[in-house]
Amino acid sequence: MNWLNKLERKFGRYAIPNLMYYIIILYGIGFVLDLFNPEFYYKYLCLDMGAVFHGQVWRLVTFIIEAPSDSLIFILFALHLYYMIGMELERAWGTFRFNVYFFSGVFFHILAALLVYIVTEISLPMSVWYLNMSLFFAFAALYPNVEFLLFLILPVKVKWLALLDGLYFAYGILQAFLPAYGGGMFGIMYKANAAAAFVSLLNFLIFFLGSRNLRPYSPGQVKRKREFKKNIRKASKPVNYGGGASHKCAVCGRTDLDDPSLEFRYCSKCNGNYEYCQEHLFTHTHVK
């Protein structure tokens, strides 16, 4: 069994559904903050390990709020693109796997900033730009032949855009080793970008190499998982079948009043909300 499946069995119930929706809201808040006070993020919210060690521990979370752009036109395009990619990845992988991919990228950013600070005592204000770009890598790995309209005109397959994305990552990492980019505050910023690019790429490689035999959920599987969760939510609500009964088997007609020890479950393979007792859950004929 894949290691992700093992983790999902233990911790899947803690995953955040529609995670990218909330991330997009955070980016929107970050954009508004940047409009009113461009320095606020770097003064109080960015991933500054020196400030974290002086008690500003909220920075370990708030650095995620950084907006992808300070341009109103580009931010609308970027947020729409990130939302679309994030939701597609969640539909393909499932909620838990997408949570793991995104939050492991966040963790690697924190770990890299921490190690650099411990070794050099330099705080690298690492951006989440490359973390977002790594979502595009994941999307391209799953759907390499999907076409995007470049400049809204030219159709280009995602795999070729991902290749350009990879060159962009490589250039970002290379900058940290070029003498022309090594001095002063700009040198620190280039090193921060290089570290962010490296850990985002590392997260992508670890996730995909560690789950190379993992296939995306098919549309049918996604539909069944949604219906199953929907049925579970309905099952948690009190239903009156008459006489005060809350559960009733669709095969034998017994209710929880007939035998309080009986357990009832909905079947995820039946077309509709059919509930069965423990004796008929695995033996009934599925309703199509």
Domain ranges in the chain are: 3-215, 220-277
Q: What's the half-sphere exposure (Cβ side, CA atoms, 13 Å) at 185?
A: 0
Position of tokens 């977002």?
132
On the 0-12 / 13-18 / 19+ scale of CB atoms within 10 A, 204 is buried
pLDDT in tens, 218-245: 545 555 555 655 655 555 555 556 566 7
Q: How far apart are alpha carbons 111 and 105 in whole angstroms?
A: 10
pLDDT at 22: 93
Distance separating the N- and C-terminal Cα atoms of the chain: 30
pLDDT digits (tens, 9 = 90+) for 61-104: 999 998 887 788 888 888 888 898 888 888 888 888 889 889 98
Q: How far apart are CA 275 and CA 99, in angstroms?
A: 31
In angstroms, the CA 287 to CA 285 distance is: 6
Give the DSSP H/E element, type plus range, for residue 39. Answer: none
pLDDT recorded at residue 163: 84
pLDDT value at residue 26 = 92
pLDDT for 76 equals 87
H-state helical runs in the chain: 3-11, 19-36, 40, 49-52, 59-62, 72-93, 95-120, 129-142, 158-174, 184-210, 219-235
Spatial separation of the C-alpha atoms in residues 51 and 58, rounded to whole Å: 10
Cα gap 262→279, rounded to integer Å: 9
Query: Coil, strand, or helix at residue 100?
Result: helix
With a cut of 50, list the residues of the chain below it in pLDDT. Answer: 1, 214, 219
Q: What is the CA radius of gyration of the chain?
A: 24
pLDDT confidence of residue 1 = 45
Taking the whole predicted model, whether its pTM rises above 0.75 is answered as no
